[in-house]
Amino acid sequence: MFQGKTYSVYILASHRNGTLYIGVTNNLIKRAWEHKNKLVKSFTEKYNVDKLVYYETTNNINAALLREKQLKKWNRQWKLELIEKENPDWIDLSTEYYKNKSEIE
């Protein structure tokens, strides 16, 4: 049976209660790796925002883009509460994927 693409809306943090970044991708593992290894020359590199602290997935790109826009409009406290609800210890959710780089390709 055909499985469509999966899209992820994600939140990265510099550290607990630190600088946040919200993005969307169709390959969360690879994208998180790129942020962690400073391969993304952007806001996340400049402010050392590389810990994946929250994500949600969907098979609908329009739903993912809409959710990304929604989260970006939220006030900071709401974003922190969302992270705390799902990941109260602010664990970097991406570390389990990086035993070796070949796992992301």
Read off the pTM.
0.89
Per-residue pLDDT of the chain (105 residues; tens, 9 = 90+): 445 799 999 999 999 999 999 999 999 999 999 999 999 889 999 999 999 999 999 999 999 999 999 999 999 999 999 999 999 999 999 987 765 555 555
Transcribe the chain into DSSP letters.
------EEEEEEESSTTS-EEEEEES-HHHHHHHHHTT-S-SHHHHTT--EEEEEEEES-HHHHHHHHHHHHHS-HHHHHHHHHHH-TT---TTGGG-SSGGGG-
Q: CATH number of the domain at 7-104, please?
A: 3.40.1440.10
